Amino acid sequence: MDAAVTVTDLVIDRGRRRVLDGLSCAVPRGEVTGLLGPSGSGKTTLLRAIVGVQRTRSGQVTVLGCPAGAPPLRTRVGYVTQAPSVYADLTVRENARFFAALYGRGAREADTAIADVGLADAAGQLVADLSGGQMSRASLACALVGRPELLVLDEPTVGLDPVLRAELWDRFHALAAEGTTLIVSSHVMDEAGRCDRLLLLREGALLADSTPTELRARTGTDDLDEAFLTLVRSQPGVAA
């Protein structure tokens, strides 16, 4: 597998709590990899380590051939956090064009990114006046405008209606078809079936690194919620 991201024996502590415990995995290029697991499983911590903003205890994270957080990655990696990362006192269009300028892009690319996330009709609105879901989409537009090789998305579909969620997933797969690598976190298992590959986390440990088809075959069920529960029950110390 040609990996965009390689994580080796990663250990991360927060205070006295071990958040990730010797985790190793790889993310293939040009695919949508889903990072799934319940809240508190370590998903956001792993994403922060991949983009190079998380202090680690030990282990190694390599991104696009460089150590995570290396200066050359700043224009090659896009990161959309759970909290909107746009300027509330600017319009959606002004935000997108500001970030476009940072990446050396023009107004046309900014307007295309806005349309791609379904905000064309709200382009002239102040971000402060948007709904929570619209703010999240505005953040995504600002990440897309840089045309990153790796796009890291932390729960980008939370709070969105089913139609918009489906449209965003279609956009994610279109980006992957164009060569972008995407890592998308979620705690909603019904999104697992939309991914090319899955990383399933629970309590800082990796339960599975496989495709949805492989996971179904391994657990003997077509229901990915039940597949996850089967993996949990198979862990030492977990009651059946």
Q: What is the pLDDT of residues 156-184, one digit of tens each?
A: 887 777 888 888 899 899 999 999 999 99
What pLDDT is recorded for position 236?
63
Model confidence at 237: pLDDT above 60: no
The amino acid sitting at 67 is P
130 CB-near residues (< 8 Å, 6+ apart): 92, 122, 138
- Region of residue 185 (left: phi > 0; alpha: psi -120 to 50; beta: else): beta
Superfamily of segment(s) 3-76+149-233: P-loop containing nucleotide triphosphate hydrolases (3.40.50.300)
Mean pLDDT score, 130-144: 90
DSSP 85: -
Alpha-carbon span 33 to 35, nearest angstrom = 7
- Looking only at the bridges linking them, the beta strands covering 181-186 and 150-154 are parallel
Rounded to two decimals, the pTM is: 0.90
For residue 91, list its beta bridge partners.
Answer: 126
